Amino acid sequence: MEPGDPAQVLVVGAGPTGLALAAQLTAFGVRVRLVDRAADRVHESRALAIQPRTLEVLAGLGVTERLVAAGNRMVRLVLHVRGRALSLPMFDFGLADTAYPYLLFLSQAETERILTEHLAAAGVVVERQVELTALTQDGDGVSCELSHGDGRAEVVAARYVVGCDGAHSSVRRLAGIGFEGGTYPQTFVLADVDADGIEPGAAHVFIGDRGPLFFFPLGSPATWRLLAIRPPAEVDDGRPVDLPAVQDLADEYTGGGVRLRDPVWMTDFRIHLRAATAYRSGRAFLAGDAAHIHSPAGAQGMNTGIQDAVNLAWKLAHTLRGATPRLLDTYETERLPVGRTVLRFTDRAFTAATSTTPLVRAARARVPALLVPLAARAKRARAFVFRNAAQLGIRYRNSPLSTDNARSWRRGPRPGDRLPDTAVLHNGERTTLHAAVAAPAWHLIVCGASPPPAALVELTGRYEGCWSCTGSPPNPTRASCTTRAGRPCAASA
pLDDT in tens, 428-483: 788 888 988 888 877 777 666 566 677 666 766 665 545 555 444 344 343 333 32
Residue 193 identity: V
pLDDT digits (tens, 9 = 90+) for 83-140: 888 888 776 666 789 999 989 999 999 999 999 999 999 999 999 999 999 999 999 9
pTM recorded for the entire structure: 0.89
Please report, in angstroms and rounded to a whole number, the separation of the first and last CA atoms in the chain: 45
pLDDT digits (tens, 9 = 90+) for 368-387: 767 767 666 667 777 788 88
Task: Sort strands 259-276 and 179-196 into parallel, antiparallel or unpaired.
Answer: antiparallel
Q: Which 3 state secondary structure label does DSSP give 396?
A: coil
CATH number 3.40.30 is the correct assignment for the domain at 403-493: yes
- Looking at residue 267, its pLDDT comes to 93
- Looking at residue 452, its pLDDT comes to 66
Lowest-pLDDT range of 16-25, 37-46, 398-407: 398-407
Q: What is the DSSP string of 243-292?
A: HHHHHHHHHHHHTT--EEEEEEEEEEEEEEEEEES-SEETTEEE-GGGTE
pLDDT exceeds 50 at position 199: yes
**For residue 4, what is the DSSP state?**
T
- Looking at residue 478, its pLDDT comes to 37
> Do residues 479 and 411 lie in contact, with contact meaning Cβ atoms separated by under 8 Å?
yes
- Looking at residue 269, its pLDDT comes to 93
Q: What percent of the chain has pLDDT over 90?
A: 60
> Do residues 191 and 260 lie in contact, with contact meaning Cβ atoms separated by under 8 Å?
yes
> Do residues 147 and 22 lie in contact, with contact meaning Cβ atoms separated by under 8 Å?
no
Q: What is the DSSP string of 400-426?
A: TT------S--SS--TTSPPPP-EEEE
- Looking at residue 461, its pLDDT comes to 65
Sign for the CA dihedral angle at 256, 258, 262, 263 comes to negative
pLDDT digits (tens, 9 = 90+) for 319-347: 999 999 999 999 999 999 999 999 999 99
d(CA 437, CA 57): 11
pLDDT exceeds 90 at position 29: yes
